[in-house]
Amino acid sequence: MARYILTLLLLATTAANASEEPTTATPDEPSPLTSSIGLGYQSLSGNSDSQTLNGNIAVTYTKGRYQTNGDAKFIMAKKDGQEDKRKMSMSLKSKRMIRDGYYFYGNGSYVDDRYGPYYADSLVSMGIGYRLFSYETFQTLVDIGPGFRHQDPNLDEIKSDSIVKQEVVNEVVLQSTVDMQWKPLKTLTLSAKFNVVSGKSNTTLESSFNATNAITDNIALNLGYTQTYYSWVPEGMKNSDTTTTISLIYTL
């Protein structure tokens, strides 16, 4: 279901962009589409404890008042000769600026985590946001809106008789995101993002911090730290997972 949601969001954004009046591109006009590929080292702790290589792809499309950001990540690690982690995540977020810093957004995400507290975790939401600070080197976006969440407890990792509750989660939630970016130097970008999803079954808080230093026009070094906290998890699972990454990012 989550894959269909993400596809619909992408198609809706493409249709909205196509509705704008066409403009004649000039040789000096930058492309509205940018993409990057990352590869590096990743350390995991929490419900899995291992080190592995990681890979990710990110795409940004900006045209007029519209902007769409999408990314996909996949990791698989082994510990003592056995698989310890296999996780795939995808997300897509589209924004349309209105006026005076306000914007509408639509968001979709899907996580398939073989060794996390939830085997599948998908979300779709929409709402309104505001550009709280907008300077040349510093920007903060805050948005909030209702959504719908689907979660499957990871029964493969926990004995069925030890789970406090094993119902599949299908519920209305409230999502809020704070996204900050600061560029203290021409080659250095610092960012922090906090995403809260609150529902009847549990509340999820994901905090991520990144430092990206440009080496050349197309290559950058990225240091990242992400922590995901669940207010409730099945018995025997930890409430938080953390990920630390060191990656080389190549911008196409």
**DSSP character string of 13-49:** HHHHHHTSPP----TTSPPSEEEEEEEEEEEEESS--
Distance CA 209, CA 165 (A): 33
Tell me the residue type at 10: L
User: Across the strands, what pairs with 90?
Assistant: 72, 110
Find the angle CA(146)-CA(205)-CA(190) to the nearest 5 degrees: 105
Distance CA 214, CA 219 (A): 6
Distance CA 127, CA 94 (A): 11
CB atoms within 10 A of CB 111: 20
**What are the extents of the domains in the chain?**
42-59+97-104+112-251
Q: What is the CA radius of gyration of the chain?
A: 19
Phi, psi of 99 (to 5 degrees): -170, 155
Answering whether pTM is above 0.85, one says no
pLDDT for 84 equals 60
pLDDT for 75 equals 78
Q: Is the CATH number of domain 42-59+97-104+112-251 3.10.20? A: no
Tens place of pLDDT per residue across the chain (252 aa)? 444 444 444 444 444 454 444 444 455 677 899 999 998 887 777 766 667 777 889 999 999 899 999 999 887 766 666 666 677 889 999 999 998 889 999 999 998 887 677 778 899 999 999 999 888 899 999 999 999 999 888 776 555 444 445 678 899 999 999 999 999 999 999 999 999 999 998 899 999 999 999 999 999 999 999 998 988 877 777 888 888 889 999 998
Q: Is 11 helix (H, G, I), strand (E, B) or coil?
A: helix
- Tell me the residue length of the chain: 252
